[in-house]
Amino acid sequence: MLRSRVKTVRWRRFAPVLLCPLFFFLASCNKNAEVAQHDSPRLTAIVTMIDVTFHSPALSRDMRYRVVLPASIVVGTKLPVVYLLHGGGGGFRDWTNYSDVSRYAERGLILIMPEGNSSYFANAAEPPQDRYEDYIVKDLIADVETRFPAASGRAKRAIIGVSMGGFGAVNLALRHPELFAFAGGISAALDVPSRPFSIKRLEQWRRHRAIFGPWDGQRQHENDPFVLARSADSARTPYVFLTCGEKEGLLATNRAFAALLAQRHFQYEFHTAPGDHNWTQWDDRLPGLFQILSAHIQSGN
């Protein structure tokens, strides 16, 4: 595959700032610093990649996101935006490093890949300053639409995620149906808020309770896609695309959620395919996903 010229900059309204290579060397010496030890983007020849650092008021700190967009854009054109959320233990570089998603920017899309840490893209109960939902739906969207030729409005905005990010995409779309016309959950961990206690997964239980609050509490219910789908106005919700590998532990959860969407008369589709919980399977799902997406978000101005 041909590779395009990669731009990795701190972007300020399209004003490039040169970064000293020494920064990356020093960062690699600090185990607590964010580093780029593995960053091998899989890019086509006619797209541009940009890494952005911006200040998130919701999180009270700087955050990073990656952008892939067409290398050539007609002046005055506003392009649809697809937000791509990474999985647990991953980061904002994952989509470009482990999938061929960049090819879909060639179709006139802006792809946005935010850093989400291990947040499930939700406003956490503890610590309360970890307001990752607000960071996405308020800070990130506003920053993207200020810096780039990004179309505003629900009809030209989609959100997709894998695993933890699949949960985030579906959850945020159900909580903010006014923002997204399309939501894609690839191997989505939709059961996380309501997973029962297990001594074998004690640390996981503690992390989930820190994010979603006390068991069976209000915050848990407010961030449970099953609860949200039961009460949502199906006429106003985004189109939901779900897919899950046939060897995944999450398959039963995704089947159950798809059944609920059918019962509530959502616009949705659900697919299964051979494969396990990994990027090989997820990358294979992208052609079908983006084909359906193109029918549900508007292109051009």
- The predicted-structure confidence for 223-241, as pLDDT tens digits, reads as follows 999 999 999 998 899 999 9
In a domain, 6, yes or no: no
Query: Which tens digits make up the pLDDT trace of 180-217?
Result: 999 999 999 999 999 888 888 888 889 999 999 999 99
In a domain, 14, yes or no: no
Residue 22 backbone phi and psi in degrees, to 5: -60, -30
- Reported as type and span, the H/E element at residue 292 is helix 279-294
Per-residue CA distances from 9 to 13, 17, 270 (Å): 11, 6, 38
In a domain, 3, yes or no: no
Residue 180, amino acid: F
Query: Which tens digits make up the pLDDT trace of 101-129?
Result: 999 999 999 999 999 999 999 999 999 99
**Residue 134 belongs to domain with CATH number:** 3.40.50.1820
What's the domain count of the chain?
1
**pLDDT of 169 above 50:** yes
Give the residue with greater pLDDT, 252 vs 10: 252
In a domain, 1, yes or no: no
**pLDDT of 30 above 60:** no
Determine the pLDDT at residue 235. 87
Beta-bridged to residue 64, according to DSSP, are 53
**pLDDT of 15 above 60:** no
Q: Give me 176's structure tokens.
A: 């903010």
What does the pLDDT average to over 32-60? 85
In a domain, 73, yes or no: yes
Q: What is the DSSP letter of 195?
A: P
Neighbours of 301 (CB within 10 A): 11
**pLDDT of 27 above 60:** no
Nearest to 271 by CA among 215, 200, 188, 179: 188
Determine the pLDDT at residue 301. 59
In a domain, 5, yes or no: no
**Would you call the peptide bond into 238 cis, given omega within 30 degrees of 0 as the criterion?**
no
Domain hosting residue 60, numbered range: 21-294
Nearest to 162 by CA among 273, 279, 67: 279
Q: Give me 54's structure tokens.
A: 């911006």
**% of the chain with per-residue pLDDT over 70:** 87
Q: Give the integer Cα–Cα distance in Å for 66 and 231.
A: 34
CA 196 to chain centre: 25
Per-residue CA distances from 277 to 10, 163, 187, 198, 285 (Å): 33, 8, 7, 21, 12
Tell me if 96 sits within 8 A of 41, measured CB to CB. Answer: yes
Determine the pLDDT at residue 38. 78
- Reported as type and span, the H/E element at residue 242 is strand 239-245
In a domain, 11, yes or no: no
In a domain, 60, yes or no: yes
CA 85 to chain centre: 2
Tell me if 263 sits within 8 A of 147, measured CB to CB. Answer: no
Q: Give the integer Cα–Cα distance in Å for 48 and 11.
A: 13
Determine the pLDDT at residue 197. 83
